[in-house]
Structure 1
């Protein structure tokens, strides 16, 4: 029994080490491919959110600012957080299809490909967050101890996006239309999320209760609110916000793993 337990432990440890190594190699490869032959390289990951913030601030500051203090900072936090979800799910959705030649040649855990896209998006998010720090410096917003909650928010968001990526990657293998429909969903989701507008506008304009419920139960509303609380408002997120972030992460990863595991044995027939 002792030998059997030891062998099982060694097998699990070996599998984990192998998967971790493959993930590192895949993320590294994506990173090199993205910035290959780029003069500015990773600087683009900092400049892009800054340029988007400037343009959107000019366009929306008079329409949607709604007395929001440090509106550009409010805007860039919402933008990079939503972009993290959008980029990771868009890339994760096609990860199995794009890796078809590799999956046909060698035996590798298929779930690594959608998860790797989420981790790569996290790397890009880290560079984009430098832009947030630059905007904080410009507006003289000094980071507080609330920043220690940032890894918690990112962990929950990574789990949520991983679950969604697993679900979408499995669906896209069998139904290619998912890749076209997801672009429409992301666009609608972006407008439904208070990225450049304030949810308080709905309350003050007496929006129907079900509209308020849809917005506040929106997963990205809660993750963005979490980010803004600790970076912009410098306060501890409310229990409701944290609870909904946890619930969405757990629910989505459970659904994603269930669907992926139920269908992955058929992938080879459709890719």
Structure 2
């Protein structure tokens, strides 16, 4: 309770760091936040044309399928990479002013999450265009969205700690993200892979579990609660490990940044 009270007393500082992150992200950008709406739409158009033709896919909901996966993966990618750089990029402030260090990775995730939530607006016109009618299952979308935030924060806290001592982790994480992208079934249907001996590539990928249920909410399919449970356990475990390692090593950050 003492830690929670301390965190609550610093909520305004966290809010300022989140505002700062959003401003810096779109600094010197003419399109600004509008680019967060244009980029996923343009990417979806390209992916739909390329992979729709490649896999001879004529399903009218395929663009919605791609966009939903693309949005969630983009947030996970940008959020974790921002977390990984959060301590080093704020080295000047850390050396001059005392600010609880955990606020830096937390604010990095939150400002990317706010931008991600804004970008979800593009799902509405695409659903109308693809004649995807909303169902009551859309109300359950809050669960995969919360799990996505938890997973990103947990993994980000681990990366924020490791990157301080091992800077090459930033480059290694780019490679890991590429592997994660291909095992999230963003631009292909996973049925054949799930029936093969490599189904574990998807089933044990918590981000795929979240993306699967997020899509189900929009397409009116039943949620896979086993996937939800696995993603929840993974996210809690990641947050505990990330918070513990960060807390144990934070006093050494000043010596390595």
Please tell me the TM-score bracket, short chain as reference: over 0.9
Aligned to 1:225: 212
Aligned to 1:39: 30
Residue 138 (structure 2) aligned to one of 123, 143, 147:
147
Aligned to 1:23: 14
SS of 1:109 mapped into structure 2: coil
Q: Where in structure 1 do 4 or more consecutive aligned residues deviate above 4 Å?
A: 65-69
- TM-score, length basis structure 1: 0.89
2:24 aligned with 1:62, yes or no? no
Shift of 1:65: 6.0
2:181 aligned with 1:190, yes or no? yes
2:245 aligned with 1:254, yes or no? no
Aligned to 1:124: 115
Change (3 A) 1:65 1:213: farther
Aligned to 1:134: 125
Change (3 A) 1:117 1:94: same
Shift of 1:214: 2.4
Please, which runs of 5 or more residues in structure 1 have no aligned partner? 1-7
Query: Are the equivalent residues in 2 in contact too, given 1:166–1:260 (CA < 8 A)?
Result: yes
Query: Are the equivalent residues in 2 in contact too, given 1:65–1:71 (CA < 8 A)?
Result: no
Query: Are the equivalent residues in 2 in contact too, given 1:88–1:161 (CA < 8 A)?
Result: yes
Aligned to 1:212: 199
Residue 242 (structure 1) aligned to one of 222, 228, 235:
228
Question: In 1, distance between residues paired with 2:184 and 2:178?
Answer: 10
Larger radius of gyration: 1
Aligned to 2:85: 94
- TM-score, length basis structure 2: 0.94
Aligned to 2:96: 105
Query: Are the equivalent residues in 1 in contact too, given 2:52–2:58 (CA < 8 A)?
Result: no
Aligned length: 257
Question: In 2, distance between residues paired with 1:124 and 1:168?
Answer: 21
Question: In 2, distance between residues paired with 1:138 and 1:89?
Answer: 32
Change (3 A) 1:99 1:18: farther
Question: In 2, distance between residues paired with 1:27 and 1:230?
Answer: 29
Please, which runs of 5 or more residues in structure 2 have no aligned partner? none
Shift of 1:198: 1.4
Question: In 2, distance between residues paired with 1:135 and 1:91?
Answer: 29
